[in-house]
Chain A
């Protein structure tokens, strides 16, 4: 392959390269898709046993993607050196680009378009779906609830996480590890599972019946009347969002714990010599020092809260004035089948995250410079 290309040959390659490159960057995704489509027909239409389909599914799902890469890579290797070097990057990056286009970029643009259409996407309705989002009485309650979630959950989870991080920092290392594991444990549990756990805690029986829900048992043990935690508005919202706090505190704790341990001990010693108490040191030394981390954790949790729909869906289906934007989006789009309103609600979520998107990109560009 160490031939010295003559002038004509090189010219040809330069002319051929650009269109071919474009062609391959298109062909690779198409081939990817066709082969996968062929294999799935078996799984969809086959009457074979679940177990057999399972084995085929795992083989194709796991192995298929590797076969595709290897095949296209070998195909490109057959080409002359120069073309090969030009095309190979697209063999590697092409499938990712195709999937991002097909699953995120095009759909997102189409969702924006659909948000200006009616429920069946057949007629242009202008801003009517957005008018619904911001003026419908039910939607106003949903916006209020979303605001509650977004303001309370990140703040409380971060505060609790920081508190636990600082307190466990003073324990013996063995204890510290155990306590942290227990607080982090809910991160492994699905939102659905967590919802069942807390539905059981909040379970309500009318007065006079045996309370098998822990919270009402405690209330009645102190002589109180049992409370329907999930129905009494507006307080039911707080019992729902507490589940999210319960799930996210572990996350906030782990990250802030690392930051707390990073505060220089000389700084703490100096404050102690100046006679500051532990609580003052916490507010005047530790918190200012880890401010950056606190903000990052808060925005991260804010994102998660914005998009979470599972808890509301399982606990109340958004009844009793407990809906939030993400849960209503699911309801509008996939239960009422109103694609216009569903899309408008999705766009609402998207608009909220745009500033963070821009910040991420500019930050990334600065870092790479």
Chain B
């Protein structure tokens, strides 16, 4: 390759662009190779999981998953791993539980936070500044600081292992961030809009539900995606407040439990892991713009 760059100028002096072009391509090669290597490290492990989840248990244990690329059409593909993990390993039930936990755990904190953010931004009351300072301070408090006392109260009140218990726990842990983000957005709405609504006789309830909420859709969508994924992917809160009993388990606790009890059974681990990822991946590919925004906004969560 280096021959080309050395020879071209000798052939004709009038054609320097050719050598410049070759040089530029050569300069780009190491960069592209590094980038390619990084992409492979990022993608190949996921690909291995996906491919393996469709192979028979014998095939998974006897040959590496990459060998299928030599026999894509003759290899034995199967859906039985998914069927067995959904029913025999209760992943289907866990999926339903995860939906029932995640949706309210997303809607409740957003609602409460939106009301609070509106009050802090546009209503006048004593303690308003103090509340906001406290919320900013609470943003970074590690979740671990709350687990033991809340668990004690839950155990005493039979809230442990209930939907309500975990909804409220996620509401509490997500609330500082939700209020902070929505306040940032809602307080940025032009003053004239709010004031003219009030001049037209709108009550605070009306101006909140008909004006502020619709205007805040982008902020709400970003936070909703973040909170939804956070709750869906959460392991710690689910382990502490719901436990690993099969009737209560979520997709994450179920999968973690399976790693402990069936750590060598790759046919159920790979298909189980992929089932837990389907929901986040659908959101990732369908709502990518909001997804990125939501993950950026939510990165400060405590």
CB within 8 Å of B: which residues of A? 36-37, 39-40, 43-44, 50, 54, 57-58, 60-62, 65-66, 69-70, 73, 77, 86, 88-90, 92-93, 95-97, 99-100, 102-108, 110-111, 114, 160, 163-164, 167-168, 170, 179, 181-193, 195-201, 203, 210-212, 214, 217, 246, 249, 251, 254-255, 300, 303-304, 306-307, 309-310, 313-314, 317, 326, 329-330, 333-334, 339, 342-343, 345-347, 349-350, 353, 356-357, 360-361, 364-365
Contacts and interface: CB of A to CB of B under 8 A. Distances in A.
Interface string B278-298: 001101100010011001100
B100 A107 contact: no
A86 B62 CA distance: 73
A69 B111 contact: yes
B16 interface: no
A74 B39 CA distance: 57
Contacts of B202: none
A69 B239 CA distance: 31
Contacts of A88: 123, 204
Contacts of A90: 125
13 contacts: A40-B162, A43-B164, A86-B125, A89-B124, A89-B128, A92-B204, A93-B119, A93-B123, A181-B288, A198-B45, A307-B143, A314-B259, A330-B236
B247 to A, nearest CB: 8
Contact of A103 (B35, B61, B107, B171): B171
A270 B148 CA distance: 58
A44 B65 CA distance: 44
A80 to B, nearest CB: 15
Contact of A212 (B63, B124, B133, B273): B63
Contacts, number: 324
Interface of B: 28, 31, 34-35, 38-39, 41-46, 48-49, 52, 60-66, 93, 96, 99-100, 103-105, 107-108, 111-113, 115-116, 118-120, 123-125, 128, 131-151, 158-159, 162-165, 167-169, 171-173, 175-176, 179, 203-205, 208, 229, 232-236, 239-240, 252, 255-256, 259-260, 263, 266, 269-270, 272-273, 276-277, 280-281, 283-284, 288, 291-292, 295-296, 299-300, 302
A109 to B, nearest CB: 9
B134 A100 contact: yes
B241 to A, nearest CB: 10
Contacts of A193: 233, 252, 255, 273, 276-277
Contacts of B283: 188
Contact of B150 (A103, A167, A317, A342): A103
B176 to A, nearest CB: 7
Chain A, interface SS category: helix
A167 B45 CA distance: 22
B169 A182 contact: no
Contacts of B164: 36-37, 39-40, 43-44, 61
A95 B141 contact: no
A164 B43 CA distance: 15
Contacts of A357: 137, 139-141
Chain B CB count within 10 A is highest, among A50, A58, A187, for A187
A182 B145 contact: no
Contacts of B113: 96
A40 B104 CA distance: 13
Given A90-B125, A189-B280, A65 B273 contact: no
Contact of A111 (B133, B136, B148, B284): B148
B38 A190 contact: no
Contacts of A58: 100, 103-104
Contacts of A40: 159, 162-165
Given A99-B112, A100-B134, A100-B175, A326 B144 contact: yes
B252 A361 contact: no
A50 B96 contact: yes
A104 B168 CA distance: 12
A201 B236 contact: no
A57 B163 contact: yes
A353 B34 contact: no
A290 to B, nearest CB: 16
Contacts of A43: 162-164
A201 B48 contact: yes
B158 A167 contact: no
Nearest to A36: B164
Nearest to B270: A200
Contacts of B115: 69, 92-93, 95-96
Given A193-B277, A197-B45, A200-B266, A89 B119 contact: yes
A189 B281 CA distance: 8
Chain A CB count within 10 A is highest, among B165, B281, B299, for B299
Given A183-B38, A201-B48, A334-B239, A100 B138 contact: yes
A361 B143 contact: no
Contacts of B112: 65, 95-96, 99
B77 to A, nearest CB: 17
B252 A192 contact: yes
A350 B175 contact: no
A40 B100 CA distance: 14
Nearest to B279: A188
B208 to A, nearest CB: 8
A235 to B, nearest CB: 18
A94 to B, nearest CB: 9
